[in-house]
Amino acid sequence: MGSHDDGRTRAWEAAGRAAAALVNDGDRVGLGTGRAAAAGIRALGARVADGLRCVGVPTSRASQALGRELGIPLARMRGPVDIAFDGADLVTPVGLTVKGAGGALVRERIVDGSAARFLVLVDAPKIGMSLDSWGVLPVATVPFAAEHVALALSDLSPTRRPGRSDDGLAIIDVTVPAGADWERLDARIRAVAGIVDTGLFRVEPRDVLVGAPDGSVRALSEFLPAG
């Protein structure tokens, strides 16, 4: 188990280094949330220590704390960012992506969506031929509407997470039936009053960086998952 975890950590670190290497002097950089994104933040911190000038725009309190610890200058979300990197729960070969297991999906959408280039950092286990192997879509809603949303989505076995997101939102996980059209279902979910966002993203396969335990990195567009 330990060696498996170590291998995944090395893969995330490789993807993080590759993302940090693409940051140019003077860039505003979106700092994602999660283990792979944290690897990118640490790699960016090393470049800042070596003299790179940039400003980080964090997507969560956790990424803000890590960026501050590493000496990365931080800023609020004011205007677009030049480049952003973040992790994913699962991504398909065409770039359909589920995010939000960490609850930061709304800030991630705002920051990542503003980026001139948005990079997703994963390792091989985060690639699936479809999103069915993940099967869960996070939904962020205003707390007042949480029960209303759960009732409207009752056929999807909604489960509300304890607590609230960094933005004070309620997070509800819904179960997506195998074989469902995720994008069509996402459109149905978004039409429910009170919902702020969901964790379904679409990204460019060339901008998904797949790290490997040996330190190599390939774009998803060059990577063929087993099976």
Positive/negative CA dihedral, 213, 217, 219, 223? negative
Q: Where in the chain is the domain with CATH 3.30.70.260?
A: 131-200
24: DSSP letter: P
Pick the CATH number of 131-200 from 2.115.10.20, 3.60.20.10, 3.30.70.260, 3.40.50.300: 3.30.70.260
Q: Inform me whether the pLDDT recorded for 135 exceeds 80.
A: yes
| Mean pLDDT for the chain overall | 94
Show the tokens assigned to 7. Answer: 């291998």
CATH 3.40.50.1360 domain residues, the chain: 2-88+99-124+202-211
Quick: pLDDT tens for 74-126: 999 999 999 999 999 999 999 999 998 888 889 999 999 999 999 999 999 99
Q: Find where tokens 């000038």 sit.
A: 53
Residue 65 CB partners (closer than 8 Å, separation 6+): none
State the pLDDT confidence band at 72, using cuts at 50, 70 and 90: very high
Does pLDDT of 4 surpass 70?
no
Nearest to 92 by CA among 188, 216, 183: 183
**What dotted CATH number matches 2-88+99-124+202-211?**
3.40.50.1360
Identified catalytic residue from 69, 108, 147, 183: 108
Choose between 93 and 223: higher pLDDT: 93
Residue-level pLDDT at 226 = 45
Q: What is the pTM of this model?
A: 0.91
Among this protein's residues, is 13 annotated catalytic? no
- Token readout for 163 is 């607590």
Residue 81 DSSP label: -
Residue 227: pLDDT band with limits 50, 70, 90: very low
Three-state DSSP class for 112? helix
In eight-state DSSP terms, residue 103 is: S
Give the pLDDT band (50/70/90) at residue 141. very high
Per the DSSP assignment, residues forming a β-bridge with 173 are 138, 159
